[in-house]
């Protein structure tokens, strides 16, 4: 009987010890989880929002633009240092082939560049930064928007799965999500946008997609950098006798005084890209009425 009581007491001691350790582990996990939430929520309070002076401390986690009809006006040219001590690397989001360019498409602005990929391919952050948006959003499908320390924001749309959360700090090359065709997408691809002050700019002004590297360590931003659809459509449709862009906005008809440089500047592209699209050289003579693909 005495031995039985001793064994029972020993068993109770063992059970109590195991229960105590389990509660301790549970408490530690809750503390860690609480710290993660606290770190995320206090991101703004710790003054580590990227480019906070440029964006006046705004941090909208739902919408890409603050206003649907917003129009950026830059009084003087702004020089953005794309690579800095805080933003020291560039990483190609996906290595695929460009299948659709920035610019006019079916009479409306296509605000990014589409890059071919397979479903499930990893999509990487182009620069260091912080995730501002991670959600399912209308035609974009699953989209992640990262604000970078260099002043730019990049958008990654049509993902099959998002792997990052709002306020998550990311480095260039970190995986943001997986490729897919969610939203308004007819095939698997990455819709990649580059924005400054929420307004889209041609990603080719920043990235050489063929060589998979940035064009320069700096980017000069002026009013001519932005693609203001309203102004362009009004300029080219006021007089029926003065059409210089076809109805779909895919081609331009040369007028007196036009140069490749002026067209590249007007349509927010590059002379090199215009030449490649039209199989001409920078020294080619433009003829009045000649049809150029934009």
pLDDT tens digits for range 197-217: 989 999 999 999 999 999 989
140 touches 183 (CB < 8 A): yes
Q: Are residues 117 and 156 in the same domain?
A: yes
Domain boundary (168, 199, 225) is at 225
Q: Are residues 165 and 194 in the same domain?
A: yes
Q: Are residues 154 and 276 in the same domain?
A: no
Q: What are the pLDDT digits (tens) for 176-187?
A: 999 999 999 999
Residue 51 placed within a domain? no
Q: How far is CA 72 from CA 81, 128, 221, in A?
A: 20, 24, 11
Q: Are residues 110 and 194 in the same domain?
A: yes
Length of the chain: 294
What's the pTM? 0.64
The first and second tokens of residue 293, run together, are: 């693909």
Residue 52 placed within a domain? no
Residue 276: its pLDDT value, please?
86
For the ranges 78-82, 127-131, 180-184, the lowest mean pLDDT is seen at 78-82
Q: Are residues 196 and 246 in the same domain?
A: no
Per residue, the 3-state secondary structure of 91-120, as one string, reads CCCCCCCEEECCEEECCEEECCEEEECCCC
Which domain covers residue 287, as residue numbers? 229-293
Residue 231: its pLDDT value, please?
42
The first and second tokens of residue 185, run together, are: 């997408």
CATH of the domain at 189: 2.70.70.10
6-8-10 Cα angle (round to 5): 70
Which H helix or E strand runs over 77?
A: none
215 touches 207 (CB < 8 A): yes
Number of domains in the chain: 3
Residue 74: its pLDDT value, please?
61
With a cut of 80, say whether residue 58 has pLDDT above it: yes
How far is the C-alpha of 163 from the C-alpha of 267, rounded, in Å? 35
The first and second tokens of residue 183, run together, are: 């939203």
206 touches 82 (CB < 8 A): yes
With a cut of 80, say whether residue 75 has pLDDT above it: no
73 touches 212 (CB < 8 A): no
């Amino acid at each position: 009987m005495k031995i039985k009581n001793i064994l029972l007491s020993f068993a109770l001691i063992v059970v109590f010890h195991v229960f105590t350790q389990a509660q301790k582990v549970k408490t530690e996990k809750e503390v860690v989880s609480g710290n993660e939430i606290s770190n995320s929520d206090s991101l703004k309070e710790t003054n580590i929002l990227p480019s906070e002076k440029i964006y006046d401390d705004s941090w909208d986690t739902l919408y890409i633009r603050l206003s649907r009809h917003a129009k950026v006006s830059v009084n003087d040219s702004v020089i953005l240092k794309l690579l800095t001590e805080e933003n020291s690397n560039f990483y190609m989001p996906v290595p695929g082939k460009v299948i659709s360019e920035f610019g006019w498409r079916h009479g409306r602005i296509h605000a990014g560049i589409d890059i071919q990929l397979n479903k499930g391919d990893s999509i990487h952050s182009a620069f260091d930064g912080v995730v501002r948006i991670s959600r399912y959003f209308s035609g974009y499908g699953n989209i992640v928007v990262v604000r970078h320390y260099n002043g730019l924001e990049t958008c990654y749309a049509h993902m099959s799965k998002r792997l990052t959360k709002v306020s998550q700090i990311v480095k260039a090359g970190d995986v943001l999500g997986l490729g897919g065709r969610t939203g308004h997408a007819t095939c698997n691809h990455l819709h990649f946008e580059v924005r400054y002050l929420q307004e889209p700019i041609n990603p080719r002004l920043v990235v050489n997609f063929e060589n998979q590297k940035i064009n320069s360590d700096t980017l000069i931003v002026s009013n001519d950098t932005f693609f203001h659809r309203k102004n362009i459509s009004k300029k080219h449709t006021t007089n029926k006798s003065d059409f210089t862009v076809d109805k779909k906005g895919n081609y331009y008809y040369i007028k007196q005084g036009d140069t490749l440089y002026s067209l590249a500047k007007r349509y927010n592209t590059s002379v090199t890209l215009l030449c490649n699209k039209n199989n001409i050289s920078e020294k080619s003579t433009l003829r009045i009425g000649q049809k150029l693909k934009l």
